[in-house]
Amino acid sequence: MFLALASAGFRIESRFRAQFWFKLLSGMLNVVARVSIWHSVFLHGAGSTEVSLPQMVTYAILGATIFSTWDATQIMREIGGDIRSGNVVSHLMRPYSYPASLFARQLGVRAHEMLMIGLPVAVLMGAFYGFQPPASIGHAVLFALSLILSLFLLFSFSIAVSMIGFWVMDMLALEWFMRGTLALFSGGLVPLWFYPDAVVNAVLYLPFAWISFYPLAIYLGQLDLASSVLHLVYGLGWAAVSAAFVALMWRAACRRMVVQGG
């Protein structure tokens, strides 16, 4: 069932040809903007001593392509639509969990975005600007594992926050909250190396850092293999916490629907 839902999400996204070309162009412009900013930063001597310009170019390309396809708000819009229309009630009668079905459908959608848009743009722009390979084979393997962890954390936190919509009945504020939180704390746009020490010491231990920053730091070799494995273990701990949080929020939401009359 999980694979069938994921496959359906992939096929549905494949039908929108005009949207595909628009997203492809947007992805390239996003890379150009980010790389241009970092070229300017290092040109004026404002770069970090912890990372070189080629590494930051690679960071910017991956952050603007592969990790930009992890769209948290799409799940939130889907849940918001189900809440407003009342379709969410029908999921209570189905033989699978509503949060699990959301994860499966979005997995197919995100797989399409990453394979058909993110990866081609990364290869094209990497060939143009220069692109560094993973620091080692071990780092490449750990980076692949961290991608899976990143996707799980993003989706689980998005679903958990979206469940608040059963009480507030409006997803717009929650969408902006998620966008702002991820932009500030995930390190996808600005690496945490550039944050003030007082901020980064707290942000590094938040689960959002495992969504973008730690996978990219592993890829670039900013973490050695032992530290990379340790951080993955920490990330798995956050994954367990987020899964439990989703289960609790969904159980509370089900009781909420009963109180409203189903």
Asked whether residue 110 carries a pLDDT value surpassing 80, the answer given is: no
Burial class (CB in 10 A: 0-12, 13-18, 19+), 39: middle
- Residue 260 confidence (pLDDT): 47
Instruction: State pTM to two decimals.
Output: 0.83
Whether the CB-CB separation of 185 and 206 falls below 8 Å is answered with: yes
In the numeric block, the tokens 């089900």 are attached to 254
Percent of the chain with pLDDT over 90: 17
User: Sorting pLDDT into bands at 50, 70 and 90, what band is 167?
Assistant: confident
Per residue in 75-103, pLDDT (tens digit) is: 777 777 777 777 777 766 766 777 877 77
User: Sorting pLDDT into bands at 50, 70 and 90, what band is 140?
Assistant: very high
Q: Provide DSSP, 122-191.
A: HHHHHHHH--PPPSSHHHHHHHHHHHHHHHHHHHHHHHHHHTTHHHH---HHHHHHHHHHHHHHS-SSS-
User: Sorting pLDDT into bands at 50, 70 and 90, what band is 46?
Assistant: low
Asked whether residue 237 carries a pLDDT value surpassing 90, the answer given is: yes
Asked whether residue 131 carries a pLDDT value surpassing 70, the answer given is: yes
- Residue 109 confidence (pLDDT): 75
User: Could you state, in order of their start, the residue ranges of all structural domains in the chain?
Assistant: 2-259
What is d(CA 185, CA 66) in angstroms, rounded to the nearest whole number? Answer: 18
CA 150 to chain centre: 6
Of 56-65, 96-105, 128-137, 203-212, the one with minimum mean pLDDT is: 96-105
